[in-house]
């Protein structure tokens, strides 16, 4: 997920463990909106690849319930990327390796002609609270160094 309001790139502890990343321990706690402060397991550096674009990114490793990875404004700046809802995707504008990630619907409606909508994290959360069906998809590959 891309969250332009996030201060850090976040990775779930489960993914960091699966990739065998070295996590530098940290005693800091993270307070998200409408939740209690939770422990941060630490920080890790990993190569992040999106299509043809690739760079080293810093991640804060935490327990995440709904996502394995949350990319913040730092990622958007590094990749020169932006969310383009009018063309249903995310454009990586880095001149060395431009790439377009098309948003793809997953779930019971796959294969049906259906308009796909991009939302902010806040809109997504509000929809889930209202009981609306929600699907999140991203084409991101992370490889341990």
What is d(CA 8, CA 135) in angstroms, rounded to the nearest whole number? Answer: 23
Is residue 73 packed enough to be buried (19+ CB in 10 Å), middle (13-18) or exposed (0-12)? middle
**Model confidence, pTM:** 0.68
51: three-class secondary structure by DSSP: coil
What residue numbers bound the domain in which 109 lies? 10-143
pLDDT tens-digit readout, 51-60: 899 999 999 9
140 vs 21, more confident? 21
Residue 4 lies in a domain: no
Is residue 116 scored above 90 in pLDDT? no
Residue 139 lies in a domain: yes
Domain count, the chain: 1
* 20 contacts: CB under 8 Å, gap ≥ 6: 144
pLDDT tens-digit readout, 33-84: 677 888 889 999 999 998 899 999 999 999 887 788 999 989 999 999 988 8
Residue 16 lies in a domain: yes
Instruction: CATH number of the domain at 50, please.
Output: 2.40.70
């Amino acid at each position: 997920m891309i969250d332009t309001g996030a201060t850090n790139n976040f990775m779930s502890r489960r993914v960091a463990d699966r990739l065998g990343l070295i996590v530098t321990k940290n005693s800091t706690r993270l307070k998200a909106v409408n939740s209690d402060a939770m422990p941060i397991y630490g920080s890790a550096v990993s190569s992040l690849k999106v299509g043809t674009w690739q760079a080293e990114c810093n991640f804060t490793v935490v327990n995440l319930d709904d996502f394995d990875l949350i990319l913040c404004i730092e990622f958007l700046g590094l990749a020169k990327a932006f969310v383009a809802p009018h063309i249903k995707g995310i454009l990586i504008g880095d001149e060395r390796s431009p790439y377009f990630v098309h948003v793809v619907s997953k779930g019971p409606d796959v294969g049906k002609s259906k308009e796909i909508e991009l939302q902010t994290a806040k809109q997504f959360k509000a929809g889930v609270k209202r009981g609306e069906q929600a699907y999140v998809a991203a084409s991101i590959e992370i490889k341990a160094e």
